Amino acid sequence: MLRLDWNFLFTVINLLLLFVLMRIFLFKPVQKIIAARQQEADRQFEEAAAKKAEADGLKLQYEQSIASAEEEKTKTLQETRRKADAEYHRIVTDAQDKAKQIKDDAAVEAQNQKLQILKKAEKEIADMVVSAAVKVVGEKKGSDVDSSLYNEFLDKAGDRQ
């Protein structure tokens, strides 16, 4: 019970040995693996942060490109509408011009025909007058001829009125 001897030294050696063995077989490996896990976790967090930053950047980029596409679309639409309007106006103006042209042509044609008919009629009248004159001249002489010619002309002209 109460004795101090060599066993004191043995106990010291035992304890030091136990400490070294526990360090080798328990503390060192477990602490190593925990440190490794910590490192792994840190790495993953870093990676996640980097990926998030990257994703944020891409998102911004996409938003920008979507916005610019929208703008582009609006611009194109306006451009197209403007062009279509211009085309519409051009076509309508064209059509109106053509219609006017046709109408004018028709009027000129009609005038021409009218003139032709009139000319023809004048010619016929002249012929008629000449033939009537020939007939009258053939039947009478002197002043009779003149007066009868005159009357006949008047008659005929009066008929035409």
Partner 1 sequence: MGNLTETLMKELECETVFTIPIFGGIDVAESVVVTWIIMAVLVLAAFILTRNLRVDHISKRQAVAETIVTKLTGMVEDMTGSEGKRYAPYLATVLVYIGIANIIGLFGFKSPTKDLNVTAALAIMSIVLVEAAGIYQRGVKKWLHKFTEPIAIVTPINILEVFTRPLSLCMRLFGNVLGSFVIMELLKMVVPVIVPAVFCLYFDIFDGLLQAYVFVFLTSLYIKEAVE
Q: Pick between residue 16 and residue 137 the one whose CB is nearest to partner 1.
A: 16
Percent helix / strand / coil, the chain, rounded to 5:
95, 0, 5
Whole-angstrom distance, CA of residue 65 vs CA of residue 134: 101
Rounded least distance, CB 24 to partner 1, Å:
9
Q: Which residues contact 125 (CB under 8 A, 6 or more apart)?
A: 160
Closest CA to 140 of 157, 132, 127: 132
Q: Pick between residue 34 and residue 60 the one whose CB is nearest to partner 1.
A: 34
Rounded least distance, CB 69 to partner 1, Å:
44
Amino acid identity of residue 94, one-letter, is D
Rounded least distance, CB 44 to partner 1, Å:
11
Q: Pick between residue 6 and residue 159 the one whose CB is nearest to partner 1.
A: 6
Q: Which residues contact 152 (CB under 8 A, 6 or more apart)?
A: 132, 136
Q: Which residues contact 105 (CB under 8 A, 6 or more apart)?
A: none
Rounded least distance, CB 15 to partner 1, Å:
6
Q: Pick between residue 17 and residue 92 the one whose CB is nearest to partner 1.
A: 17
Which residues are near partner 1 by CB under 8 A?
A: 1-12, 14-19, 21-23, 25-27, 29-34, 36-37, 40
Q: Pick between residue 34 and residue 58 the one whose CB is nearest to partner 1.
A: 34
Rounded least distance, CB 59 to partner 1, Å:
31
